[in-house]
Each structure stands twice: as C-alpha cells, then as structure tokens.
Amino acid sequence: MSIQTKIYLVGAGPGDPDLLTVKAQRLIQTADTVVYDRLVSREILDLIPDSASRVYVGKATSRHTLSQKEINALLVDLGRKRQRVVRLKGGDPFIFGRGGEEALALARNDIPFEVVPGITAAQACAAYAGIPLTHRGLARGVQFVTGHCKDNEALVLDPAALSDPEQTLVIYMGLANLPQIVRDLVQAGRPGDTPAAIVERGTTSRQRTIITTIDELQHAVEQHTIASPAMLIIGSVVSLAEELEWFMPWAQEMELKYA
Ligand SMILES: C[S@@+](CC[C@H](N)C(=O)[O-])C[C@H]1O[C@@H](n2cnc3c(N)ncnc32)[C@H](O)[C@@H]1O
C-alpha cells in the first residue's frame, strides 16, 4: 500500500506568531517534517512538534545554505518519503518567496501539494507602521516590487511603475540597491520630498519605523544602521503614519528571534 504524501507550502507571515493563519498553525503542529527559511521566527518554530524533523534551508542575500535547485530537489525527495511535509516560508510563499518555483518542481514530479497563503511583509509592515497602503485621495493603487535581482544581476526598475504619484510603492529587499532605487525614483519624476518609510523587523518586538523622504532615505538607513529584513514604503500615504501610529514594540513582552 503506498502512503499518501502531501507537501504544504505554508506562509508563516512576517514574524509575529499571532499573524499565522489557523490553517498554517494546524499544519505546523501536525507535520512530520518542516523545511524552513531564515525569516521564520523562533516563536513559530517552537510550534513544531518534537517528533518532527526540522530542515533549515535559510538564505541570506549572498549566503545560501542550499541553492534553490537543491531545495526544489529536496522537496521532491521528501514528497516521496514523508507524509506531511510543511515547507515554511516567511510572509507569503508566492510573493518574492520563490514558492512558485517550488510548486512547479512538485507539480512536474507529480507530488501532491497545497499552498497556504501568509500575510506578506508589505501588508504587515504597513499595518504595524500605521500606513494604509491605499487611501482615498492619496493613493489609488499599490505596487510590490523587489529591489534585488536574482544572482545579483543589475537591477532594472520600470520608470512607469515608479512615476505615478498616486501609487504607493512597497520595495522588498531594497537596502543593497538603495542608491540606485533613489536615483531611479527621482529620474522617474517622484519629487525628492515624497514621504518614505523604512520598517525594520516589522511586527516584532524589535520593529523600528523611520519616517523620512526619498531624498533622505540613504542617510536615514546609514544614521539608524538599518539592517535586513527591512521594507521601504514610498508615497503620500506615509504622511499618515504619525497620526496612525498604534504599535508600541517596546511595550511587547515577547522578544522574537530569527533562526
Ligand atoms: C525574500 S523576501 C520574502 C518575502 C516574503 N515571501 C513575504 O511575502 O513577505 C525577504 C524580504 O522581505 C522583507 N521582509 C520580510 N519580513 C520582514 C519584516 N518582518 N520586516 C521588514 N521586512 C521584511 C524584507 O525586505 C526582506 O528582505
């Protein structure tokens, strides 16, 4: 009799364990194997049962434990051997998480899988910084873009995507290429005094939110020694942050740590 296996590609959300979906929590607690990334918080890893195997495949920008190809192969292999494998990824698996590539590898090898969406960092950082990503009269749309290209290829940002003053721009992985991002934004016509926010370690007890402008972004990152993970939010809606600030990380008892 062949065993029924399934791989669950699960979004772990941005860090705060209370932002896990009920489905994600149930799957983590009943997994026999969990394959996880760098940006999954310790509190969420603590939900994994002692009986389950844990496989760390974390990636920093330039340090890869396993290549994406190796991770895909590992998942296919586990899908043939284990019954309930949770592939746990920060945020949402299908937003800058390479979940699509993993799902394709599984589909092409006839391994059954499900995708469990998570709260992506853009939404979570904006909400915890008091920045509505759309707001009547200020922003009628929002774009999620990456500031980092695969294999450190040169970053090419679409000027049309950057120029619309009524679009909020949320930039993942933007720190390394910040000087170019700022240059491209200004060249695309965004005024240098456009409000900009940096949200570091969003939703955790160590969240820092810096409100500045496009012109001052680089200086702010250096002055506050901002490190990854950090999200950049650009647009008029950032001007609401001061009035809508509600999250007081220093008042949180929990200390979230990343693996
Ligand atoms: C490889 S992407 C993964 C995105 C993830 N799949 C998601 O949906 O949020 C990693 C980037 O997401 C952003 N990020 C993830 N978690 C974050 C957090 N808690 N605070 C700020 N930025 C975060 C950072 O820009 C980080 O470099």
Total Cβ atoms within 10 A of residue 97: 23
Q: What is the atom index within ligand 1 of the atom nearest the CA of 97?
A: 6
Would you say the C-alpha torsion 42, 44, 49, 55 has a positive or negative sign?
negative
Q: Are 138 and 105 a contacting pair, CB within 8 Å?
A: no
- Given a cut of 50, whether residue 259 has pLDDT beyond it is no
| Residues 4-62 pLDDT 10s | 789 999 999 999 999 999 999 999 999 999 999 998 999 999 999 999 999 999 866 55
Cα–Cα distance, 145 to 171 (Å, whole number): 5
Catalytic residue among 6, 23, 32, 59: 59
| Domain stop point among 65, 90, 116 | 116
Range of the domain at 189: 121-244
Would 76 be classed as within a structural domain? yes
Judge if 228 and 125 occupy the same domain.
yes
Q: Whole-prediction pTM value?
A: 0.92
State both tokens at 44: 């969420």
Would 58 be classed as within a structural domain? yes
Q: Nearest-CA neighbor of 90 among 129, 53, 45?
A: 45
Q: Are 198 and 209 a contacting pair, CB within 8 Å?
A: yes
Cα–Cα distance, 231 to 171 (Å, whole number): 6
Residue 230 CB–ligand 1 contact under 6 Å: yes
| Residues 244-257 pLDDT 10s | 999 987 665 544 44
* CATH number for the domain harbouring residue 13: 3.40.1010.10
